Amino acid sequence: MLKLRDILVELYREAATSLPFEIENKLQKISNIEKSNSKEALKVILENIKMAREFEKPICQDTGVPIFFVKAPFGISQTHIKNEIIKATRIATKNIPLRANAVDVLTDKNSGDNTGIGFPIIYFDEINSNKLIIELMLKGSGSENIGQIYKLPIQEIGAERDLDGVRKCVLDAIYKAQGRGCPPYFIGIGIGATKDQVTRLSKEQLLRDLQDKNKNSVLANLEKNILKDINKLGIGPMGFGGKTTALAVKIGINHRHPASYFVDVSLSCWTHRKAKIILKI
């Protein structure tokens, strides 16, 4: 029977080398409507996806920051899971291989194995279930660097404390990003009470399936309208101009404090690397 660490190594391999087929299919579809440099860029992207999967090599040279979202049954040791993730990270870094990205803030020394203080990032939730659910996202720094957090209201962009203000924040973030984060983008939006809360919430939206529809009809409509507005900006694939600047917009909300209205905009590049396992305990 495979140990948890071995399963996690394979989770890393899947995320790093095999883009989800729903994303690949969407990129193939938009390649038929784009023109000129954007069309050529998509051609190269699609060939890269194919070769990475075939040869089991990372899709992008920046294999990112590993972010784990773990949902564990009551009574399961979080310390054990964390230790297994760290061991798997070291093995995956060597064997896949992953680029070593964990750098000590004080010394600038790279750990060499993608582990360190708070690295990889692991979020835990307990659930009333007999299943252990682990989701992994490899978050590239290019797209991470262009994410934005907003505290509404913001006079400069005319954003009030309402959903239209949220829309204006997202458009502002994408306009500022242009092509620096390797579009077409996947966009996660978190709205809530505190900065740390909405940052995690926006990341969680990036785990949602490309085609899923928000259960809240108001938010579903907002996601649809924001996506249309973003694609009117004309930034296009890899910033070369075109009809497709983003492939999906996903929004999550929490209650907020009467005096605060925070909005976090997280972006993922076209190399939206994520993978998931469900284990029966």
Domain assignment present for residue 212? The answer is: yes
pLDDT in tens, 118-150: 999 999 999 999 999 999 999 999 999 999 999
pLDDT in tens, 50-101: 999 999 999 999 999 999 999 999 999 999 999 999 999 999 999 999 999 9
Model confidence, pTM: 0.95
Q: Is 75 helix (H, G, I), strand (E, B) or coil?
A: coil
Residue 281's pLDDT is what? 85
Domain assignment present for residue 75? The answer is: no
Q: In this model, does residue 1 exceed pLDDT 70?
A: no
**Average confidence (pLDDT) over 253-264:** 98
Instruction: Write the DSSP string, 1-35.
Output: ---HHHHHHHHHHHHHH---HHHHHHHHHHHTT--
Pairing of strands 65-73, 131-139: antiparallel
pLDDT above 90 covers what percent of the chain?
Answer: 99
Domain assignment present for residue 90? The answer is: no
Domain count, the chain: 1
Domain assignment present for residue 206? The answer is: yes
pLDDT in tens, 223-248: 999 999 999 999 999 999 999 999 99
The answer to whether the beta carbons of residues 275 and 21 sit under 8 Å apart is: no
Domain assignment present for residue 152? The answer is: yes
Domain assignment present for residue 216? The answer is: yes
Q: In this model, does residue 2 exceed pLDDT 80?
A: no
pLDDT in tens, 155-209: 999 999 999 999 999 999 999 999 999 999 999 999 999 999 999 999 999 999 9
pLDDT above 70 covers what percent of the chain?
Answer: 100
How far apart are alpha carbons 224 and 178 in whole angstroms? 20
Domain assignment present for residue 201? The answer is: yes
Residue 50's pLDDT is what? 97
- Which domain does 238 fall in, by range? 142-271
**Average confidence (pLDDT) over 254-268:** 98
Domain assignment present for residue 222? The answer is: yes
How far apart are alpha carbons 3 and 8 in whole angstroms? 9
